[in-house]
Amino acid sequence: MNNNYAPNDIKITKTISSLESNGFEVWFASNHLEAEKLFWKEIFNNVNPNTVSLGDSLTLHSTGIIPRLKETHGVELIETFGEHLSWREQIHNRKRALS
């Protein structure tokens, strides 16, 4: 876990603890800019993915990460949500994202 946070809310601490006890690696960001930096530095660069998909994350939308992912050379972004996709395309892409 990223210990560079000082949550004053017990709910945040409990959430982080629950996620970690279920095998998740957790980072805490206090704002969108910090979240974007954490994503690129700690997650994306360490995983170095060829394919990326997501579950319609409001955080990824609000930080501007999705447009940057679309522009990242060598990375396929499988979009599973969006008004520009038909229902069948969404289902097809969700199945692709799981394989």
CA distances from 37 to 23, 27, 96 (A): 23, 11, 28
pTM over 0.75: no
Q: What is the pLDDT of residues 25-34, one digit of tens each?
A: 999 998 889 9
Q: What is the pLDDT of residues 74-85, one digit of tens each?
A: 999 999 988 899
The two tokens of residue 89 are 């395309």
Nearest to 88 by CA among 13, 71, 96, 37: 96
Only one residue has tokens 């170095």, namely 48
